[in-house]
Amino acid sequence: MAEAMADTVPPPVGDVGSRRPVLETIMAQTAALQSMPTDVKITDFHTAADDGTAILLRWYVKEGAAAGPAVLYLHGGG
């Protein structure tokens, strides 16, 4: 992935609108390379950013698992 990104010019700092599609593409490519266990259920939710953009929230649950603690991961990018 680093080689594929080596020739790209990043959007200007603060240009959130241009950075979102780039990050979404990178995240989709990363997800495609990873296998998901068959006993994990994924549920997608969305919330709105200040500018109205839909932000994906993803909930992973192992089938048959009792409710318990959760981990909240927030990416620090644009």
pLDDT at 27: 80
Long-range contacts (CB closer than 8 Å, 24 or more residues apart) made by 23-30? 23/75, 23/77, 23/78, 26/1, 29/1, 30/1
User: Which of 26, 29, 19, 31 lies closest to 60 in space, CA to CA?
Assistant: 31
pLDDT in tens, 17-70: 888 787 788 888 888 888 888 999 989 999 998 888 888 888 889 999 998 888
For residue 69, the 8-state DSSP code is -
